[in-house]
Each structure stands twice: as C-alpha cells, then as structure tokens.
C-alpha cells in the first residue's frame, strides 16, 4: 500500500558500503502457497527489499533520530492535531476515503505515522537552525523589510513620504494600491524578488527607506523600508523562515544522519536508494 512520505527531506548517509546482502536465518520458512508454488520468508524479503527498502530505511532511520532529538511534546502534538483538523475541514466527508487511498487504516494511523512525524521533523529543522544560527545567518543574510511596489512613480514617491512620516506599510500600501501588502517580512538571499529590489536589501547595513527602485524587468516602481538588519533581534522570526527552506531542511538531515553515524551495508538496499532516491546518497 502506498503511503504519504513521512519525510520529504530526510537524507540517508551511506558510508562504508560493501557488497553485502541482508539475509534471514529462517528464510526457507513457507509463508503461503499459490497453486503449486510455495512462497518463503526469503522470497518475500527479497521482493520487499527490491521494491520499498529505500523508503523504509529512510523512514525508520528518521524515526530513531526524531525520538532522540525531538521527542513528542504537547506542543508537537498540538501542531499535529491542528494539521489533522485542516485535513478534516478540507476533505469533509471524503476524508476517510482519502486516507484509505493512501494506505492509512484510519485517522489515528494517519495522525501517528504522518502528521506527528512531520511535526517532529519541523521541530528538528528548527533545532538545527537554532544550534547553527550564526553560520546560517552568514549564508542567508536575513533582514526584515517592507516592500511596496506600484504601477507609477508618483505613487511610489507619495508612499515614501508617508513611510517617512511614520505611517505603517500596510496602510501606505492600501492607500496607493501597492501590488504587495506592505507587511514586514524576512528577506533572505533565496527570496524571489526583483533583482534591483533584492540588491538594495542585501546591501543595506542599517534601517532606512530607499529611493524609488525601478523594476529590472518591467515598469514597476518600488519603495523598500529596511526595518531590521540585526538578526539577533529577530531570532524567532528568522528561525521559522530558515527552517522552511528546502536547503536548510536538507542540511539538517545530513547533519543529524552524520551525527548518528548511520550506515547501510546491504547492496540491494544501497542500489534501491541509488536508483529511486539518488539525492539521498552522499559520498
């Protein structure tokens, strides 16, 4: 049965692999017959190993790390329950059928083996960001800013004047029909922005308001208000943003699999992961 992946970002560290193969000590035990054919434990083991061993190994290794690093807490349970309520509201009466289509026995199975695990994974990545905050800040250069983008230069100039007078970005954006809401947000090196706007933010070293920034690819006019350049004043907000980046999640997985010295020696298992999950294999 197909199940939703427990972890989209778990990364398996395979080191020291030799051409070894896992075997069952009682592999000749017959599990069932079909016609004149007897199917043994070894037959089933080989089939399972060839078809789903990579996913199973990644999932189970991840569970071990989660249990040690971020055991389930009331806060993690609340996050998982909130996700469950979202699914219930989204799928309504068809929710049980959705669960069955993905191979879950019931809501408890889905909650325990998917939502709770995903909530733990979120906490694991946050833990990684917290423990490596200074280094990640150097890489991602986060700053807090308000970005307002307009169709005319006149609106942009009027918006700048209002910002300088102390009016908040959301009000200013609404007044002059900004295409962006005007809320404060964390901007990193990976944030998708107009090149000229992003360049101004990356080069900012103090809280300031830009002149009108003309769009690099179209006729837009932006005003950027830098509201915080010191990452130590925004640790919680930055941690949340960085933890949601795919690159950070992958780095986190590598870090913890290395920390726990995880190794797989079975050749079939290695080949399965190399074929189906090549990004999970590190030299």
* pLDDT value of position 143: 98
* pLDDT, tens digit, 9 for 90 and up, residues 131-152: 999 999 999 999 999 999 999 9
CATH 3.10.50 residue window(s) in the chain: 143-229
In this predicted model, which residue has the larger pLDDT, 275 or 281? 275
Q: How confident is the model at residue 272 (pLDDT cuts 50, 70, 90)?
A: confident
* pTM for the model: 0.77
Give percent of the chain above pLDDT 90.
63
Q: How confident is the model at residue 51 (pLDDT cuts 50, 70, 90)?
A: low
Strand 37-40, strand 30-34: pairing: antiparallel
pLDDT at 28 over 90: no
pLDDT at 109 over 60: yes
What is the longest distance spanned by two Cα atoms in the chain?
87
Q: Quote the tokens at residue 112.
A: 């325990």
* pLDDT value of position 6: 33
Q: Which fold has domain 143-229?
A: Chitinase A; domain 3 (3.10.50)
Between CA 270 and CA 274 the distance in angstroms is 6
Between CA 236 and CA 233 the distance in angstroms is 9
Across residues 99-128, what is the average pLDDT?
94
């Amino acid at each position: 049965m197909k199940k939703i992946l427990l972890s989209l970002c778990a990364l398996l560290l395979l080191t020291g692999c030799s051409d070894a193969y896992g075997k069952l000590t009682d592999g000749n035990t017959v599990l069932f017959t079909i016609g004149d054919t007897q199917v043994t434990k070894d037959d089933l083991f080989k089939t399972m190993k060839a078809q789903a061993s990579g996913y199973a190994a990644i999932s189970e290794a991840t569970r071990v790390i989660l249990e040690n690093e971020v055991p389930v807490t009331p806060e993690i349970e609340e996050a998982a329950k909130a996700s469950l309520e979202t699914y219930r509201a989204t799928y309504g009466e068809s929710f049980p059928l959705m669960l069955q289509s993905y191979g879950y026995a019931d809501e408890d199975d889905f909650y325990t083996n998917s939502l709770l695990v995903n909530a733990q994974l979120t906490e694991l990545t946050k833990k990684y960001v917290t423990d490596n905050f200074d280094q990640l800040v150097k890489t991602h250069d986060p700053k807090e800013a308000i970005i307002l983008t307009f169709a005319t230069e006149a609106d942009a100039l009027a918006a700048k004047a209002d910002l300088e007078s102390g009016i908040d970005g959301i009000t200013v954006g609404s007044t002059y029909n900004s295409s962006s809401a005007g809320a404060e947000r964390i901007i990193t090196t990976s944030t998708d922005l107009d090149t000229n706007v992003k360049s101004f933010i990356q080069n900012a070293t103090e809280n300031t308001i830009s002149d009108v920034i003309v769009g690099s690819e179209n006729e837009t006019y932006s005003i950027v208000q830098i509201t915080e350049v010191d990452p130590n004043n925004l640790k919680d907000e930055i941690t949340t943003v960085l933890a949601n980046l795919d690159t950070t999640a992958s780095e986190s997985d590598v870090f913890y699999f290395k920390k726990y010295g995880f190794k797989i020696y079975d050749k079939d298992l290695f080949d399965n992961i190399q074929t189906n999950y090549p990004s999970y294999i590190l030299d």
